[in-house]
Chain A
Amino acid sequence: MDLHNTHDDRLLCHDRQETAIILYFISTGAKRGATIPIVDHGQGGAMHAVNAAYYVNPLPHVLMLTAIVVMVSTFGVALALIIMVYRRYKTLEEDEILELRK
C-alpha cells in the first residue's frame, strides 16, 4: 500500500466525507412506496387531499442542494490553495514542505 501524507490526498479524503453526509441526508427523505414530491404524479393525482406518506420528503434534498453549493465552493478554494502551495514549494508532500520551510 502506498500511503502518502500529501495535501491533495487529505483533500480527497475530506471530499469523500462530505459526499457521505450528502448521501445520509438524502436517505433520510426516502419512504417505502412513495413517489417524487410533485402532487400531479402522486397516487390518485391532484384530486384528493395530499397525503404526505405518499411522497418522499423533499426538504433534505433541498437542503443538500445548498450544501452541495457550499461544498463545491469549499473544494474550489481548497484546490486554489493547493495550487498556491505547489507553485511555492513544487511539492505537496507534507514532510518535504516542512523540510523546505526550515
Chain B
Amino acid sequence: MTTSPFSILIIVVPFISAFLVPIIGWWRKGLCYPLVIGALSLSVLSCTVTLKMVMGGGTVHYYLGNWGPPWGIEYVIDHLNAFVAIIVSVVSLIIAIGSRRSVERELPQKIVYFYCLFLLHVTGLLGIVVTGDMFNLYVFLEIASLAGYALIAIGEDGAPIASFNYMIYGTIGACFYLLSVGYLYIVTGSLNMGDLSRILPDLYHSKVVLMAFAFFIVGVGLKMALFPLHVWLPDAYTYAPSAVSALVAPLTTKVGAYVMIRIIFTVFKPHFSLELIPATAILSWVAIVAILFGCIMALGQTDLKRMLAYVLIAEVGYIALGVGLANRAGLTGAILHILNDSLMMACLFLVVGAIMYKVGLRNFHQFRGLHRKMPITMAAFTVAALSVIGIPPTCGFFSKWYLVLGAIAANRWFFAAILLISSLLNAILFFRVIENVYFEPAVYAHNGGDHGEISRDEAPLSMLIPILAVTIGILSLGILSGKIISNIIQFAVPAGL
C-alpha cells in the first residue's frame, strides 16, 4: 500500500487558494487571476504525480489526520479516480486560462468573488473524485453544488430563477444521497467505501440495502442530469455567464457519472447491480431515452448555448448507457467518454464564449460568414462538432465505437441502432450550425453597401490558446485512445466484468 501527500495536495491547494483570493483581491484585483492559474497548475501537477504512482504501484491511500479507516476519513485513489481527477483538474485549468477576458467583460465588479467561487467549485469536484468516504463525498457534493448555484446565478436575466430551480433539484438529490448513506450506516456501521463493499454482500437481500441503492441512483441521477431528472439543466447552463457554463457543463455531469460508476461497481458489487436486481438493465433503457430526448430537443433550438445544453443531456445518456450495459467494452466506452465528452463540451462552450465576446450573438442563424471573421475559433468548433458526431480520428469516435461494441457484446442490437441514429441526429444538429457559418452568404443589413467584405477579427489570445489546446487534445487523444485504454481504463473496469 502506498501513501502519498500528493493525493491530499490535489484538494488542499485549490481550497486554501479559494480563501486567499478574496484577501489578495482586496489588496490588488489583478493578482487573483495568476493565483487561480497557479493553484490549479499545482493541482494538475499533484494529479499527474498521483496518476504516475497509481500506474506504478496500484491504489494510493491517504489517511486524514492519520486516523485509519473505518474511524477516519480516507482518500483512496485508484485508476478510475486518478483518471477522472486529472480530467477535472486539467479542464478546469484550461477554462480558468480562457475565462480572463470574458469575466472582465461580463462581470467587471465581481472578478474577485467569481474566482473564489470558481476555486471552491473545482475543490468540491476534485474532493468528490478522490474521497473514499461516503459522508465526505456528500460534503464535497454540496460544496461543489453551492459554488455552482452561486456561479450560475450571476448570469444574465433569468439566471437567478434558473439557479433557484437548479438548487431545489440539486438539494433534493443531495437529500436522497444523504438518506441512503444513513440507511447503509445503520445496517453496516461504516461509512468507508472499501469497508462497505466488504460488509454489504451478506446484506444484499435486506430491504434497507435495496432502498439505499434506489435512493443513491435517484440522488446521483439528479446531480448528473440523467434524463427524467434533467429539468434543471437547460435553463441553468443557458443563462449562466460564458466562463461559468464552460466550467460547469463539461465537469459537473461527468463527476456525477463517476459517482454513479463508483456506487454501482465498487460500493455495491457488480453481482448485486447486475443479477440480484435489474438496475443496470433499467439504467440502459433510461439512457437510451435520454440520448434520443437530448438529440431531438436539441433539434428544436436556435440558441447555440441551449442546443449544447440538450446535447449534453444526450452525452450523459451515452455514459449511462455504457454503465448500464455493464460489460467490459461498454464500461470502457463510458469511462473513455467521460474524458472525451469533457474535452468536447469544454471546447464547444469555450467557442460559444468567444463568439459571445466578439459578436455578442448566440442564435446560430445569425452566424453567417463567421468563418471569415473568426477562422480559428470556427475551425475548433468544427473539430469538436465532428467529435460529438463521432467521426474518426477525433476522440468522440472511439468512445462511441466501444459503446457500440458493448451493445453488440450484450446482444442489444437495438441499442447499437439507437447509437447510430443519435450520431445521425448529431450530424444534422451540428451541420445546421456549420452550414450557417461556412456556406451561407453573409448578409449584413446594417451596413448594406459593402456586403461580402468581412475583416478578420479573431478572439483575444487568452481565449484562443485554451480553445486550441482543447482542440489539439480532441485530435490527439483520439489517436492515443488505445494507449489510454491499455494503461489506465482497463484497470479501472472492475474485475468481475
A59 partner residues in chain B, CB cutoff 8 A: 185
A10-B135 CB under 8 A given contacts A60-B185, A84-B160: no
B172-185 near A? 1/0 per residue, CB < 8 Å: 10010011001001
Kindly identify, within residues 182 to 216 of chain B, every residue whose CB is under 8 Å from any CB belonging to chain A.
Answer: 182, 185-186
B163 partner residues in chain A, CB cutoff 8 A: 81
Which one of B53-61, B146-154, B264-272 is at the A interface? B146-154
B186 to chain A minimum Cβ distance, whole angstroms, is 5
- Is B135 in contact with A82, judged by CB distance below 8 angstroms? no
Residue among A81, A82, A88 facing the most chain B CB atoms (10 A cut-off): A81
- Is B185 in contact with A81, judged by CB distance below 8 angstroms? no
Is the C-beta of B139 less than 8 angstroms from some C-beta in chain A?
yes
Question: Which single member of A74, A82, A84, A88 contacts B142 (CB below 8 Å)?
Answer: A74
Q: Once bound together, how far apart are the Cα atoms of A60 and B181, in whole Å?
A: 11
B153 partner residues in chain A, CB cutoff 8 A: 80-81, 84
B158 partner residues in chain A, CB cutoff 8 A: 101
Question: Which single member of B138, B139, B171, B182 contacts A18 (CB below 8 Å)?
Answer: B171
- Is B135 in contact with A88, judged by CB distance below 8 angstroms? no
- Is B142 in contact with A70, judged by CB distance below 8 angstroms? yes
B157 partner residues in chain A, CB cutoff 8 A: 88, 101
- Is A78 in contact with B167, judged by CB distance below 8 angstroms? yes
Is the C-beta of B164 less than 8 angstroms from some C-beta in chain A?
yes
Kindly identify, within residues 111 to 170 of chain B, every residue whose CB is under 8 Å from any CB belonging to chain A.
Answer: 135, 138-139, 142, 146, 149-150, 153, 157-158, 160-161, 163-164, 167-168
Is the C-beta of A46 less than 8 angstroms from some C-beta in chain B?
no
A15 to chain B minimum Cβ distance, whole angstroms, is 9
B135 partner residues in chain A, CB cutoff 8 A: 63, 66
A60-102 near B? 1/0 per residue, CB < 8 Å: 1001001100100110011011101100100000000100010
Range for the number of chain A residues in contact with chain B: 20 to 34
- Is B185 in contact with A18, judged by CB distance below 8 angstroms? no
- Is B175 in contact with A18, judged by CB distance below 8 angstroms? yes
**A-B residue pair count with CB separations less than 8 angstroms:** 63
Is the C-beta of A25 less than 8 angstroms from some C-beta in chain B?
yes
- Is A81 in contact with B182, judged by CB distance below 8 angstroms? no
A14-B172 CB under 8 A given contacts A66-B139, A70-B139, A97-B161: yes
- Is B164 in contact with A25, judged by CB distance below 8 angstroms? no
- Is A74 in contact with B164, judged by CB distance below 8 angstroms? no
A26 to chain B minimum Cβ distance, whole angstroms, is 10
B175 partner residues in chain A, CB cutoff 8 A: 17-18, 21
Question: Which single member of A10, A73, A85 contacts B160 (CB below 8 Å)?
Answer: A85
Is the C-beta of A43 less than 8 angstroms from some C-beta in chain B?
no
- Is B146 in contact with A81, judged by CB distance below 8 angstroms? no
- Is B167 in contact with A24, judged by CB distance below 8 angstroms? no
- Is A24 in contact with B164, judged by CB distance below 8 angstroms? no
- Is A14 in contact with B168, judged by CB distance below 8 angstroms? yes
Q: Once bound together, how far apart are the Cα atoms of A7 and B146, in whole Å?
A: 18
Q: Once bound together, how far apart are the Cα atoms of A63 and B171, in whole Å?
A: 17
Binding site for B on A (CB under 8 A): 7, 10-11, 14, 17-18, 21, 24-25, 28, 59-60, 63, 66-67, 70, 73-74, 77-78, 80-82, 84-85, 88, 97, 101
9 closest residue pairs by CB, A with B: A84-B160, A81-B164, A70-B142, A85-B160, A28-B186, A81-B160, A25-B182, A74-B171, A77-B149
Binding site for A on B (CB under 8 A): 135, 138-139, 142, 146, 149-150, 153, 157-158, 160-161, 163-164, 167-168, 171-172, 175, 178-179, 182, 185-186
Q: Pull 13 A–B residue pairs with CB atoms less than 8 Å apart, ordered by A.
A: A11-B168, A14-B172, A17-B172, A28-B185, A60-B182, A63-B135, A70-B139, A73-B146, A77-B149, A81-B160, A81-B164, A101-B157, A101-B161
Q: A11-B168, A77-B146, A81-B164 are in contact. List 4 more A-B contacts (CB 8 A).
A: A18-B175, A67-B178, A81-B167, A101-B157
